[in-house]
Amino acid sequence: MARRRFTGPPKPRRDEETTQDTIRTEGVVLEARPNTTFLVQLDAGPEILAHVGGKMRRHYIRILPGDRVVIEISTYDPEKGRIVYRK
Cβ proximity to another protein, 3 vs 87, nearer residue? 3
Q: By rule CB under 8 A, what string of x and - marks binding of each residue 3-42 to another protein?
A: xxxx------------------------------------
Strand partners, 37: 33, 51
Does 58 participate in binding another protein (rule CB under 8 A)? no
Task: Indicate the SS3 state at residue 1.
Answer: coil
User: What's the sign of the alpha-carbon dihedral 32, 69, 54, 56?
Assistant: negative
| CB of 5 or CB of 14, closer to another protein | 5
